[in-house]
Structure 1
Amino acid sequence: MMKNRPEKLNTAQSSTNRFGLGMLSPTILILLVMTAYPLISTLIYSFTDYNYLKGADKASFIALANYAKLFNHTYFRQAVWNTVKFTILAVVLEMFFGLLVAVFIHSLKRGQKVMRTLLLLPYLLPAVTVALSWRMMLSSNYGIINQFLTGLGLPVFNWFMDTKTAFGMILLIDVWQNVPFVFLLLYASLQSVPEGQYEAARIDGAGTLQQFWFVTVPNIKNSLALCALLRTIDTFRLFEKVNVLTGGGPANTTSTITQYLYNYGIKSLDFGFGSAGAIVMTLLVLVLSSFYIKRAIQ
């Protein structure tokens, strides 16, 4: 009987493993079809002169010509710089204000449910709806913000067509919409911070800032890293707001990688060139994300 017991345990373990693999198989298959296949196809097309009008069967292998054309294009280099700069600024501002709001709401004795609901409204709106709403408010002709500035005797701007204000306005709109996302994740993380640690810190004479730095931050650092990673990936592919509000202008000051690929790849149906840009964009996202992933592993 004792000799048969290990064999039964091994059989049971094998059955469990097969069951788990069977349950995971649909998900793995979907990931392969929806992620791996498009990525491999994009990589292959990036080495060809594939144009949609000609068809994939007439595409020729041109090695690194698309990548050389990409990096030699001044607009692409500026689009990369705009995207990286926008991503860094947006993530830093969203993390700062999201954490600030989360700590403030968490400290309230009353009204937390109402405040949570109100704060989440901007994030629930589609990006196009947000862009159109802000375009109306910031209109140089009938926008309420310019009318308010005129009433105060202050100068008005053509916010989305001025090289001095266009980038900042899109950054402001993106931060306004996505701070609630950061707030929600960090607010949920704050619920798990042990109250006893705050009491011990207060007994030791720690002030509010010291409690925040030595108690709150260490307990939510993993959530901070995850939130920064998610926002970096999402912000890097910014498209809707730029496309609706500026189209990449004025003077290419708001052009992002996605907007550039849309203008020079999708609209011209040059999918080989667009695929090369998509691969470069993916690599840049991986580089930026690696900092957060490395921090999370540590």
Structure 2
Amino acid sequence: MAKRNNLSESAVQAKRFSTAMITPTFIVLAIMTVYPLLFTFVYSFTDYNLLGTMSGSVNATGIKNYTDILTDGYFQQSVWNTVKFTILTVVFEMLVGFIMALFVNSLNKGQKIMRTLLLLPYLLPTVTVALIWRMMLSPNYGIVNQFLESLHIPVYNWFSDIETAFGMLVLIDVWQCAPFVFLLLYAALQSVPQSQYEAARMDGAGPLKILFYITIPNIKKSLALCALLRTIDSFRLFDKVNLLTGGGPANSTSTITQYLYNYGIKTFDFGFGSAGAVVMLIIVLILSSFYIKRAIK
């Protein structure tokens, strides 16, 4: 009986200790996450403006902010740009990252060197990446246009031409973020049992059958996780757009975040911006739930 009491007492102490360790983290997360979410949701139903708040006027507007933003043609274009950008970048990053992971995993020598080289673009800050590409694609002194001129090929003002600006953003994002997909999928490939490959080769299976019946089924959850993370990250794209195009030309590269910055943050209209943030959150949650259901299956 005494032994049981000691065990139960130690279990209670362990539970108290774990609760004490978790509580500070929970409080920090609540302050940093829950409060801003509630703040954003509440003020999305008001005309909250930083300049107006200084004079003490914040009025409830009901769903006016939501109706204004959902009927705004610029916002609709920004949503379409964001969805299109997300689809293109996720597809190409998953494809390129998967090919890179298969290639490095197949190497008998030099895997460490190749891993380091392929990860370099992802390790660079986004501002640095944007500035590098802006210099390379400069219409005046960019190396890309100089190379095209040497081949007598017409040159472009890449970030100011409506036909090329969006494609350049997709290219730059794929160049920087495909290594992230490579890293996760390469780690997943390391856990695939070699015995399955050996058994498949003994049965006469070719490279394609091994890929589709052994490799992909073993890493499908990692593929779903990569797609989910890249979808969320691509959907909230802001920095590259703001640094390279500012949403132009003719709103052709404006994303939801860039729209909220231009028409909410810059004008201090936080009520309007909060409504847009809530709409964006709902869209991301819908996309995330789709990926999570696919991953569970």
Band the TM-score falls in, shorter-chain normalisation = over 0.9
Cα RMSD for the two superposed structures: 1.2
For structure 2, the residue ranges without an aligned partner over 5 or more in a row are: none
CA distance in 1: counterparts of 2:211 and 2:295, whole angstroms: 20
**Counterparts of 1:255-294 in structure 2 under 5 Å?**
255-294=254-293
- The letter for the 1-side match of 2:50 is Y
- Number of the residue aligned with 1:226: 225
* Partner SS for 1:14: helix
2:15 to 14, 17, 22: 17
CA distance in 1: counterparts of 2:190 and 2:150, whole angstroms: 45
Return the offset for 1:209.
Answer: 1.1
Q: Does structure 1 residue 42 correspond to structure 2 residue 40?
A: yes
- Number of the residue aligned with 1:123: 122
- Number of the residue aligned with 1:197: 196
CA distance in 1: counterparts of 2:194 and 2:137, whole angstroms: 45
Give a deviation string over 1:75-115, Cα, whole Å, max 9, x none.
00000010011011101110010000000000001111111
Return the offset for 1:7.
Answer: 4.4
* Partner SS for 2:114: helix
CA distance in 1: counterparts of 2:99 and 2:142, whole angstroms: 30
- Number of the residue aligned with 1:180: 179
Return the offset for 1:10.
Answer: 3.4
Q: Give TM-score, length-normalised by structure 1.
A: 0.97
CA distance in 1: counterparts of 2:235 and 2:29, whole angstroms: 22
CA distance in 2: counterparts of 1:114 and 1:171, whole angstroms: 27
- The letter for the 1-side match of 2:10 is A
CA distance in 2: counterparts of 1:13 and 1:222, whole angstroms: 35
* Partner SS for 2:179: helix
Return the offset for 1:5.
Answer: 4.9
Q: Does structure 1 residue 110 correspond to structure 2 residue 113?
A: no
Return the offset for 1:12.
Answer: 3.0
CA distance in 2: counterparts of 1:252 and 1:259, whole angstroms: 10
- Number of the residue aligned with 1:254: 253
**Counterparts of 1:89-100 in structure 2 under 5 Å?**
89-100=88-99
- Number of the residue aligned with 2:240: 241
CA distance in 2: counterparts of 1:8 and 1:81, whole angstroms: 63
* Partner SS for 2:204: coil
Return the offset for 1:291.
Answer: 1.1
Stretch deviating more after TM superposition (176-185 or 48-57): 48-57
CA distance in 2: counterparts of 1:177 and 1:241, whole angstroms: 11
Q: Give TM-score, length-normalised by structure 2.
A: 0.97
CA distance in 1: counterparts of 2:17 and 2:91, whole angstroms: 44
- The letter for the 2-side match of 1:13 is A
Give a deviation string over 1:1-54, Cα, whole Å, max 9, x none.
3xx555444333322222211111111111101100000000001000000012
Stretch deviating more after TM superposition (56-65 or 121-130): 56-65
- Number of the residue aligned with 1:28: 26
CA distance in 2: counterparts of 1:219 and 1:82, whole angstroms: 34
Stretch deviating more after TM superposition (273-282 or 52-61): 52-61
* Partner SS for 1:54: helix
- The letter for the 2-side match of 1:163 is I
Identical-residue share of aligned pairs (%)? 65
Stretch deviating more after TM superposition (47-56 or 104-113): 47-56
